[in-house]
Chain A
């Protein structure tokens, strides 16, 4: 599986935008980029995923670099509830292999 690299932790202020980076320089043409987050004492929660184009949903936006070697998860207005570990995951086109979680980024939100 292609690997991803994320900062161990990031800090942001409440009500400000947050940009969470992810590097995936060995991504293949059929790998999708998935983001999940895990709030304390809960199971992982799907955030967003994309292949080549930028994606938006009610939770976040996903900006994918033109060469696809990196991506950024954007939380437009962070709240305290967004404090979690965010995982950037590559998944092969078929997706039959499940999710391979890395260490993720621990996002801390300051009030």
Chain B
């Protein structure tokens, strides 16, 4: 069983479209995150949810909207996709907000054309 799973693994779409990336964790963790890794390989946190509540919202365009239907899921919806949104998006989870290890998914490579 994969601890943190993301779908899809690859996503190619046109500018202006709306798309969603799904994330599920089966670890029973309270905290989930979305990270973005750009073409220069820098990894940056975008959002953090704890028990379905938004905790961290870094400077991310409001075209990006995370949704957590329950503790095990944190989906990322992106409206009006732009070329600059092309990146690898990683979902992660941790037991809580403290200094515990984070488990990452395999990533979703989004390409906007």
Residues of A within 8 A of B (CB): 32, 34, 36, 38, 41-46, 49, 85, 87, 91, 93-101, 103
Within 8 A of A (CB), among B85-111: 90, 92, 97-107
For B56, B100, B104, the residue with the greatest tally of chain A CB atoms inside 10 Å of its CB is B104
B107 CB contact (under 8 Å) in A34, A42, A96 = A42
Chain B interface residue count, Cβ-Cβ cutoff 8 angstroms:
25
Whether A91 and B99, one on each chain, are in contact in the complex, defined by CB atoms closer than 8 angstroms, is: yes
Chain B residues touching A, majority SS: strand
Q: Which 9 A-B pairs have the closest CB atoms?
A: A43-B104, A46-B101, A101-B43, A98-B45, A96-B97, A95-B99, A95-B98, A32-B99, A44-B104
CA distance A65 to B4 in the complex (A): 34
Within 8 A of A (CB), among B45-84: 45, 48, 50, 55-56
CA distance A103 to B44 in the complex (A): 11
23 of the cross-chain contacts (CB-CB < 8 Å) are: A32-B99, A38-B43, A42-B107, A43-B4, A43-B92, A43-B104, A43-B107, A46-B103, A49-B99, A49-B101, A91-B99, A93-B99, A94-B97, A94-B98, A95-B98, A96-B48, A96-B50, A98-B33, A98-B56, A100-B45, A101-B43, A101-B44, A103-B41
Whether A96 and B105, one on each chain, are in contact in the complex, defined by CB atoms closer than 8 angstroms, is: no
Chain A hits for B55, CB < 8 A? 96
